[in-house]
Structure 1
């Protein structure tokens, strides 16, 4: 198993990886600002990747809208923007390595079949192992799955502490190439982060559950493990996470400074009153100087 990276200012690489399914909302802006601040505080690089491996969900023009919002809020990035839709060759090579090493197996099951028999875990349906030892007679492969080892995978989160996930019991054999031929999120994420040289992943706590399968893939492919920091979520007054699925409104780029004050408060940073109307660059410069992950709120934050 590869050890987690020890990061210093000369090697730090962070990233923000939005899916182009709509414009930035306040919840996604929290993740962007948190990851940007952590990178800049370390004197490191901050990359932007458009996670459009799932072409079926991508909205035309959403990527450009997201990039304009980042710029409006002073969140400059380093290097060219990376698009997952251009990287199928890299994902295919990684899949073949997993197949050759015996970590992946073909699966004939449909979601309808699995819903009838699968039990549920923290990440959703847990695969019952139908095709693990070979395809049933007369069935053809639809997808490819990663074998979940019967082990407890452990990693340290910089905010939430030591995490332990029983891979077989809690995650199960998970999809790495879908039935429609598209590569799955976990595989794309692990390969892309490695190719970007990412040392630190800073993202919302809703993605904590995605960390273990992505770690398992990195281990199987011989890739380094980045450090992780899962940020508190912005939730509505009704207690639901702000997301595209809950119809969270897009951030107003014309109110970038006001948005940043709100986001910084969610991240445990109360900007001084004299900066309330300051341009985004001044607010972010202050925030970099005061960024302290240890001071992040313990729970999620309700916003009006």
Structure 2
């Protein structure tokens, strides 16, 4: 098995120091292992993705000394793949149609009878308002005017309880977790809930596309920030449901600003392109992020 990892940015803004750390770390590990480093463009958010940001991703990474094989996988070219999998899940009654807005979800979750609001990887854990709207009564086509949510409870009922859920953590979770990270469907239903697999305006979601893309590219090791540690549990469930392999995960530290906040694309002051324009070198960037 060849060590294969990837860097998968979204072309919705400039790459910053946090991106540089993740890309350099993955590229370094792939080279040290005699493996492959792939670049993938996660451009499913068509409302925010811009060609100029994608072009700058290529420029910034090349300047850092990172190379990758062509062609580059772009998620916008894989929408038929995502649709086919969603259709299969819809016919298997593994997903249901949801018409709730974010406000609807917040109000339902904060209702007195619901108790304390629980926050999961995608925000407020869905209270189950539309659960039960599945394929039935001859309706075999995926609804086009609704989001599709994974029915975590139904999947838990049909799961083989003897098979443990989990993944191997080669890096470090937010609380120092490493090694085998096991969890149960009970924890998933309580702490994560019915996550969205297809948004009305995208035709897919991050969770679904990243799982399918990693499998399609033969990714053996996923390197990404600790902020996605809990989301990995969702990805393991989808891999189990779709019969896909589970990679080894390496959740690395987050690059933070002076106040301890993790960097975001709005932090243009830490954009790689700005450091380039100031005359910094790729080695300077490595020192800044601790490599």
Aligned 8 A contact 2:167 2:246 in 1: no
Partner of residue 90 from structure 2, selected from 96, 99, 105: 99
Q: Which residue of 2 aligns with 1:65?
A: 56
The answer on 1:18 being equivalent to 2:9 is yes
Q: Which residue of 2 aligns with 1:142?
A: 146
Change (3 A) 1:248 1:97: farther
Change (3 A) 1:238 1:181: closer
Q: Which residue of 2 aligns with 1:226?
A: 247
2-structure distance, mates of 1:73, 1:212? 32
Q: Which residue of 1 aligns with 2:137?
A: none
2-structure distance, mates of 1:248, 1:182? 33
Aligned 8 A contact 1:204 1:230 in 2: yes
Indicate the SS of the match to 2:118: strand
Unaligned runs of 5+ in 1: 1-7, 270-304
Aligned 8 A contact 1:107 1:141 in 2: no
1-structure distance, mates of 2:23, 2:285? 12
2-structure distance, mates of 1:178, 1:197? 26
Partner of residue 175 from structure 1, selected from 176, 192, 196: 196
Aligned 8 A contact 1:242 1:248 in 2: no
Q: Which residue of 2 aligns with 1:130?
A: 129
Indicate the SS of the match to 2:250: strand
The answer on 1:39 being equivalent to 2:43 is no
Alignment of 1:202-241 (within 5 A): 202-241=223-262
Unaligned runs of 5+ in 2: 110-116, 135-142, 173-177
2-structure distance, mates of 1:45, 1:71? 16
Aligned 8 A contact 1:176 1:187 in 2: yes
Change (3 A) 1:214 1:242: same
Moved more, 28-37 or 123-132: 123-132
Alignment of 1:51-62 (within 5 A): 51-62=42-53
Indicate the SS of the match to 2:229: helix
2-structure distance, mates of 1:140, 1:134? 14
Q: Which residue of 1 aligns with 2:168?
A: 156
TM-score (norm 2): 0.81
Residue 99 of structure 1: CA displacement? 1.7
Change (3 A) 1:140 1:200: closer
Indicate the SS of the match to 1:21: coil
Alignment of 1:242-261 (within 5 A): 242-251=263-272, 252-253=275-276, 254-255=279-280, 256-261=282-287
The answer on 1:112 being equivalent to 2:103 is yes
Moved more, 209-218 or 40-49: 209-218
2-structure distance, mates of 1:140, 1:48? 31
Aligned 8 A contact 1:94 1:191 in 2: no
Aligned 8 A contact 2:144 2:200 in 1: no
Residue 140 of structure 1: CA displacement? 9.3
Change (3 A) 1:211 1:195: same
Indicate the SS of the match to 1:155: strand
